[in-house]
Structure 1
């Protein structure tokens, strides 16, 4: 009897291990490690890349190439039982095997999350292309954008964004996220507009930046070390202005329009050191 029980345990253990990890045949061993997907698009300002995500962690990096390269991190595919079936919560079809749908029409490429499961993606894009990123849920992680010379548009709900080594223009909105933007230069061709309800806005610009600023915060303050002909009160070497009214200021004689708006937090405008 003991020998028979031992044999039964040995034959059923692998099956129990498989079903206990995924419930539907989805096991840790199915996760794809560092899977990548590549697609071609011109490295020019006429190219547009539209990225739509639900709750994934995304880093967007510009590079001197005509390829979009997506690192899928650790992506777990659908369970074997779902073979031949399509998910209903997300109508996008995963044609990349990393949980994304990628389609291209003319100079526009669309990258859409095709799975409800969160993942970490690094998306390398041609640095001169324009990028639009939109968050469709309230559970998304913050977005990181680096080394882009094209236009950037961010439509976020609860997430914030950190932009580094960009030139803009930048159009960004969020409800509760912070926007931290570090420019290597400021594109003078189109205006920038950044707004958030409860997040901070923190811009770092070259000291020579020519801009017309339109600034407003309802309950916060605006701090800057640029000369905008504003009150001379200071705090931590930043001139302090604020209150309920909109403030217009110019740097280096004026230039491209930059509108910054937050309701319940502060705005910081810094010279790059």
Structure 2
């Protein structure tokens, strides 16, 4: 993530400022002003555990709502605490546990670039974020969460390891990948002369493009089928051979994919 002189802040959300919704959920809302309201901007979010939802709106600020959840229930934590202390023969009888249920979230803004991150690995943090429509996104999460995006216009990079990626009413370009989740893309407008890429493993990829999109599709599926309702022109091509002599080692890799042109062809997808 980018670092520099910060206009905004590093926010520590603790038990004093949190709103307790239940024994296991806490919520905090923050409005982030932009350095250049009304101009294009970008949002970068990185989580270890949790979901990310981003929605474009007709506003000039970034609005962040964070919800934190304990990963385990209180009964499970008590059991593990007792197990850990049993080896040390610590008597907990009559003692009352004091829990720290806060969570930490870093938010930084500089020149209309907003960064949000959390290093929590044992507590899920779900983020709901509203951004101006003309915002580019770089979003990533690893565990126990999905990514959902709607109504934004920009160049977007999205990754998830153990969850879905869904994007609707999107304009611009997208590079997206997920391992154990579905990938759904619905474009209102595709950026001209800009290549895009979509990769998934174990679940479906569903791509919807405007009817007049000019693109060259390179498609490959290891253990599945490819379907389309576009009037695509299939292009006959042989295996793609890549050679490399890097570090004194001669290496050749051969791959085969299906190529099709939409409306005469265009940027590669």
TM-score per shorter chain, which class? 0.5 to 0.7
Q: For residue 226 of structure 2, give the secondary structure of its aligned residue in structure 1.
A: strand
Q: CA RMSD in A?
A: 3.1
Which of 246, 258, 264 is matched with 2:257 structurally? Answer: 246
What SS is found at the alignment partner of 1:253?
coil
Question: Residue in 2 aligned with 1:226?
Answer: 230
Q: 1:130 aligns with which of 126, 133, 136?
A: 136
1:36 equivalenced with 2:29 (yes/no): yes
Per-residue CA deviation, residues 167-213 of structure 1 (Å, 9 max, x unaligned), is 23101122222110111111114211111222211011121221111
Residue deviations 1:107-160, cap 9 Å, x none? 42210125442133210112212110112x3x2311100001111111221222
Normalising by the residue count of structure 1, what TM-score does the alignment of the two structures yield? 0.65
Task: Tell me which of 145, 151, 157 is aligned to 2:149.
Answer: 145
Instruction: Determine whether 1:109 maps to 2:109.
Output: no
Structure-2 residue corresponding to 1:159: 163
Q: How far apart in 2 are the matches of 1:169 and 1:28?
A: 38
In 1: Cα distance, 2:155 partner to 2:144 partner: 22
Q: Which has the higher strand share?
A: 2
Partner of 1:94: none
Gaps of 5+ in 1: 1-26, 84-96, 232-243, 259-273
Distance 1:40 1:211, change over 3 A: same
Aligned to 1:91: none
The match for 2:63 is: 69
CA distance in 1, matches of 2:68, 2:177: 29
Residues 146 and 160, structure 2, Cα contact 8 Å, conserved in 1: no
Deviation of 1:44 after TM superposition, in Å, equals 3.7
Distance 1:33 1:213, change over 3 A: same
- TM-superposed deviation, 1:35: 3.2
Give the C-alpha shift of residue 222 in structure 1: 1.0
CA 1:222 to 1:155, structure 2 compared with 1: closer, same or farther past 3 Å? same
Tell me how far apart the structure 1 counterparts of residues 199 and 100 of structure 2 sit (CA, whole Å): 42
Instruction: Give the alignment's TM-score, normalised by structure 2.
Output: 0.66
What count of residue pairs does the alignment treat as equivalent?
204
Mapping 1:78-227, distance limit 5 Å: 99-113=104-118, 115-116=120-121, 117-135=123-141, 137=142, 139-227=143-231
Q: Check conservation: 1:56, 1:140, Cα contact below 8 A.
A: yes
Taking the TM superposition and a 5 Å limit, the aligned residue runs for 1:248-263 are: 248-258=259-269
